[in-house]
């Protein structure tokens, strides 16, 4: 997060989550008026594994600003941002959704508190609620930690990268030890 791009009035921000499984879905919602002042836009499955490849999230932040919501909403993603991003935009969340990060268990309406001066983000759920949601994800079997509703063609090369990719906090590089042997 680039703190210089955050207005002082929103250094502490609490709001309900609006969750999207892709950048495209978030953009459609922003432009369609489904995101309103006070919302925390959550875009997941855009990290190194989930994307795969970690897309830049410039469009959602640009459209929030153009809709007059740049100082009225927050955005949290496991995707990445460039130097052109402004507003309360938190990216590179690790572990990402596709690696079992808590960003994967956030649901629409969950309250999220962001405290930039104290470097904190809190999903306001009990430990029991978090554990139950993680268990529900695991119960999806081979579909665990994948988007529930997203159509995206992914090439063989990107699927191979995703199977070897480390989290953003580890550089989003290929971990050859995952190859075995």
Q: Using CA atoms, how far apart are residues 94 and 151, in angstroms rounded to an integer?
A: 23
| pTM of structure | 0.92
Contact 48, 168 (CB under 8 A): yes
Residue 112: C-alpha distances to residues 106, 150, 168, 169, 180 (Å):
9, 24, 22, 22, 39
**Share of residues in the chain with pLDDT > 90 (%):** 66
Q: Using CA atoms, how far apart are residues 129 and 147, in angstroms rounded to an integer?
A: 20
* Active-site residue, selected from the candidate residues 9, 22, 66, 82: 82
Using pLDDT thresholds of 50, 70 and 90, give the confidence band for residue 181.
Answer: low
In terms of Cα–Cα distance, which of 95, 123, 103, 98 is closest to 15?
A: 123
* Residue bearing the bigger pLDDT, 89 or 5: 89
Compute the Cα dihedral for 14, 17, 22, 23 and give only its sign. Answer: negative
In terms of Cα–Cα distance, which of 77, 81, 128, 125 is closest to 104?
A: 77
Structure tokens at 10: 């929103």
Contact 75, 41 (CB under 8 A): yes
Using pLDDT thresholds of 50, 70 and 90, give the confidence band for residue 38.
Answer: very high
Whether the per-residue pLDDT at 161 is higher than 80: the answer is yes
**Of how many residues is the chain composed?**
181
Please tell me the CATH superfamily of domain 3-174, with its number: IlvD/EDD C-terminal domain-like (3.50.30.80)
Contact 44, 67 (CB under 8 A): no
Contact 35, 18 (CB under 8 A): yes
89 is known as an active-site residue: no
CA atoms within 13 A on the CB side of 119: 0
Contact 20, 42 (CB under 8 A): yes
């Amino acid at each position: 997060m680039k703190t210089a791009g955050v207005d002082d009035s929103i250094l502490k921000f609490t709001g309900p989550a609006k969750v999207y499984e892709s950048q495209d879905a978030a953009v459609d919602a922003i432009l369609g008026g489904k995101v309103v002042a006070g919302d925390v836009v959550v875009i997941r499955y855009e990290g190194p594994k989930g994307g795969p490849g970690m897309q830049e999230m410039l469009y959602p932040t640009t459209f929030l600003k153009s809709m007059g919501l740049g100082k009225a909403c927050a955005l949290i993603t496991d995707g990445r941002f460039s130097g052109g991003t402004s507003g309360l935009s938190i990216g590179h969340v690790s572990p990402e959704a596709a690696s079992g990060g808590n960003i994967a268990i956030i649901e629409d309406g969950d309250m999220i508190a962001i405290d930039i001066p104290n470097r904190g983000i809190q999903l306001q759920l009990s430990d029991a609620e978090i554990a139950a949601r993680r268990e529900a994800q695991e119960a999806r079997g081979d579909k665990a930690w994948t988007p529930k509703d997203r159509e995206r063609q992914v090439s063989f090369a990107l699927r191979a990268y995703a199977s070897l990719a480390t989290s953003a906090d580890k550089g989003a590089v290929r971990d050859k030890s995952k190859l075995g042997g």
